[in-house]
Amino acid sequence: MKWVLNPYDEFAVEEALRTKEQFGGEVVLVTMGPARCREALRTGLAMGADSSVHIEDDNFAFSDNYVVGKIIANEIKNLGEYDLIFTGFKIIDDESVQVGIHIAEELGIPHVALVSKVVRIDPDQKRVTCQKEIDGGHVIVDVPMPALITCPDAMNEPRYASLPGIMKAKKKPLKEVLVDDINLEALGLSRESLGKDGARVKTTSIKVPQIERKLKVITGKDNPAVKGDEIIESTHELIKLLREEAKVV
């Protein structure tokens, strides 16, 4: 069995390592991004992953999510057989939830989003049962493997890399892939479809949100904090402000 990961996310790494501890197999980290991602891969290897693949090229910067998904899916295919892929739920920088799911679509395998718990893995029937978060509750689903699972924050408690782990990680394979190594045409992509200029959605401007806050803080008279009789007065005053000034109650 093989457990593949992308993009780097400590909850996803932890979940893959636990799966390996239970069922054996191999954990391969796959990520795409600038040189600094290598740090994250080293950490993942130090936590216990077996090897890693880093797709690194400036040509990929600001690529559309579907392009990123396609290229990562292709690298995963190149790794041979696998059973589960764990990815982070969001890519923190961009708050994008898309890439993981694009990978699953590209590979033609099921995905289970926002999994709060992997309930059961059945290697014989090749099925995985998960508890996933949905609006207004949660649901238990099961899907055939191979499958992709997106891991939210707080899914587990990621382990720390131990000193021997860090030493061992230095000797573990870290494969690098550049744009020239990829047969873009075979993926239905071209150099033009990479990066910012090929994106279907382009960021044209950014601004810092400016919300003026009123900054009215009620404090105690003799002490920074309200105490005793002031308590009731302060709650009165707050309600009055919410009602008459802010008009939200």
Tell which positions 66-125 bind another protein, by CB under 8 A: 66, 69, 89-90, 92-98, 101-102, 104-106, 110-114, 116
C-alpha 96/C-alpha 104 separation (Å) is: 15
Does 209 interact with another protein (rule: CB under 8 A)? yes
Note whether 68 and 93 are within 8 A (CB). no
Does 156 interact with another protein (rule: CB under 8 A)? no
Of the pair 163, 249, the CB lying nearest another protein is at 249
Residue type for position 236: H
Does 34 sit behind a cis peptide bond, omega within 30 degrees of 0 on the bond before it?
no
Q: What angle in degrees, to the nearest 10, is found between the helix axes of 37-47 and 10-23?
A: 30
| Three-state SS letters, 49-84 | CCEEEEECCHHHCCCCHHHHHHHHHHHHHHCCCCCE
Does 216 interact with another protein (rule: CB under 8 A)? yes
Does 220 interact with another protein (rule: CB under 8 A)? yes
Of the pair 183, 205, the CB lying nearest another protein is at 205
Member of 77, 126, 170, 202 binding another protein (CB under 8 A) = 202
Q: What is the nearest approach in angstroms of another protein to the Cβ of residue 68? A: 11
Q: What is the nearest approach in angstroms of another protein to the Cβ of residue 95? A: 6
Member of 14, 15, 64, 75 binding another protein (CB under 8 A) = 64
Using only C-alpha atoms, what is the Rg of the chain?
24
Does 158 interact with another protein (rule: CB under 8 A)? no
Residue type for position 169: A
Does 65 interact with another protein (rule: CB under 8 A)? yes
